[in-house]
Structure 1
């Protein structure tokens, strides 16, 4: 597949936007209509990766201790919990969704929807029972993200969005955004952020550049590497695949034997993904960032495989031609 074929290939998906930047040049840009270029859009769980970046910045600044710090250092009530394993829960476990909580993200008594119906989300999450020891297995859990947002607000002494404006959004030139809060005024860690597609692309470029922005480090190279590394196998629930890092999905694309360029080498990438088709993909070997947004959930949920089925093959083929 060639770049000139991209618009035709993506047309049936009716995406709100698709942006591809390679080596600092925007090589493909599609918006369903002109409003999609300028209006902010819900990025859903891509919020988690933005929160991860802020956690890394706070670690770089010495505001947040190292990842092996127990969560009980910020929520001492865990020391009084009847389950002693909760004392073993660390910041790293929250980042890698391996806290061990008995949690079903989209249904059941211990779930994301149930959390949002309570008057105190943090207390709800802290009260959840463990089904296994922390660090054992990845289980997708927006409650972990809310704890991280609460911790970030504690250590910075300011709302998460204010810290983001000072340390991330401001330097990246992101002025237009919206960010929801929980009943206590803590910004939502697992969802709730709205950004323009072009600003999502900036965020992806920051990670592609290993934390550098305009030749200045916003995030240390070491923490960019740690956050985007495969830390734990992803929960084996199709279509999830690969590994999970610090609130990033990590995977590899390999062209199949029937592809146009089956001899292309494996292409490692990591990505943020939000419900309904919001995504930011970083492909370091190709010096490429891809942003997708979508908003027609009733007509199509847009499968997670849009990137792998339509965009990755084109990028791999283009790389083989050079």
Structure 2
């Protein structure tokens, strides 16, 4: 690995942070200024991957319905929809963003902003018209994440944040965070979590180690591996595959795959890349305005070639 080449490539971008962990060592650490190391900041949709981890943990503890449970068994109102496709939506469909609702996160009908302006986000997400049979098409949908967050509260009997503190944040040493809530007081499943760069790195390391942390299995290795496997092809303009609220892709050299990776992705430049083959985790964060922001392909274009 040529760290000097990576450093030369990313320094002009003025990223908020860039951390590279490889083979049990933090080998590269960059912050725009030294205070950033200690300051929690919004990770936007990377929150989805943390929610996925919490659902895996709840499944391990027998506190959450199996993935192929129909959503109508958990939310009876869905069974009143006659022959609507939504009767066949399962928890797995929510995790893979393939519930089948007509939803455009941004642009077009702007489903996400409409949801956040509504008085009941979960009801808004559930009430959207169907466009596809469940499981057929991946359509990026933060409403699905909010439904999952509501189910986690319903099934565990406590808040999402308190569950995270007990089973995930506490063991990982995450004690300085902020997590937004919807009008019903349910922590946001698709965005809204603020963490430090080191917290993102440790979360990536947890998955690199197949759910194990300091000789303790926080997530069963079976679910830690299964939840980041490609589950459904993504729709343009995305590339690769989607797993359980994680993205999956591969880095290609000379038109041949060089290594596969999975990653958490948040609006504005928040990323956690996990490359099992190379025993590597890469964290990128940013916080600048859109016109000043670096391109979204920093990892595949400027970092991956040097790994």
What is the CA distance between 1:108 and its match in structure 2?
A: 3.9
Query: What secondary structure, in the 3-state scheme, does the structure 2 residue paired with 1:67 have?
Result: coil
In 2, distance between residues paired with 1:299 and 1:139?
Answer: 26
Distance 2:42 2:229 in 1: 26
Q: Which of these residues, 253, 257, 264, is aligned with residue 272 of structure 1? A: 264
Q: How far apart are the structure 2 equivalents of 1:303 and 1:151? A: 35
Instruction: Name stretches of at least 5 consecutive residues in structure 1 with no aligned partner.
Output: 316-322
Q: Give the TM-score taking structure 1 as reference length.
A: 0.93
Query: C-alpha offsets along residues 21-56 of structure 1, whole Å, 9 cap, x if unaligned?
Result: 001100100000012111001000000000000000
**C-alpha contact 1:206 1:213 (8 A) present in aligned 2:** yes
- Residues in 1 aligned to 2:240 and 2:107: alpha-carbon distance in whole angstroms: 23
1:288 aligned onto 2:286: no
Q: Structure 2 unaligned runs (5+)?
A: none
> Map of 1:288-307 to 2, 5 A cutoff?
288-307=280-299
How do 1:169-248 and structure 2 match up within 5 A? 169-237=169-237, 240-248=238-246
Which residue is 2:12 aligned to?
A: 12
Contact map agreement 1:107 1:113 (CA 8 A) in 2? no
The aligned counterpart of 1:101 is 101
Q: Give the aligned partner of residue 60 of structure 1.
A: 60
4+ aligned runs moved over 4 Å, structure 1:
none
TM-score, structure 2 normalization: 0.97
Q: Distance in 2 between matches of 1:160 and 1:217?
A: 20
- How far apart are 1:83 and its partner, in Å? 4.7
User: Contact (CA 8 Å) 2:5, 2:306: kept in 1 or not?
Assistant: no
State how far apart, in whole Å, the 2-side matches of 1:311 and 1:86 are: 42
Question: 2:29 maps to which residue?
Answer: 29
Structure 1 counterpart of 2:300: 308
Residues 117-136 of structure 1: CA deviation (Å, up to 9, x unaligned)? 00000110111110010001
Is 1:102–1:110's contact at 8 Å kept on the other side of the alignment? no
In the alignment, the residues of structure 1 paired with residue 289 and residue 197 of structure 2 have an alpha-carbon distance, to the nearest angstrom, of: 18
Deviates further, 109-118 or 212-221:
109-118
Alpha-carbon distance in 2 for matches of 1:178, 1:298: 23
The secondary structure found in structure 2 opposite 1:308 is helix
SS of the residue 2:56 aligns to: helix
Distance 1:81 1:306 in 2: 45
Q: Which moved more, 1:203-212 or 1:79-88?
A: 79-88
Q: CA deviation at 1:236?
A: 1.8
Q: What residue in structure 2 maps to residue 249 of structure 1?
A: 247
Q: Deviations over 1:214-264 (max 9, x none)?
A: 111000011011110000001121xx210000000001101137xxxx8xx
* Partner SS for 1:270: strand
Secondary structure, counterpart of 2:44 in structure 1: coil
Residue of structure 1 equivalent to 2:118 = 118
Query: Could you tell me how far apart the structure 2 residues matched to 1:35 and 1:106 are?
Result: 33
SS at match of 2:7: helix
Correspondence 1:128-167 to 2 at 5 A = 128-167=128-167
Partner residue, 2:43:
43
SS of the counterpart of 2:30? strand
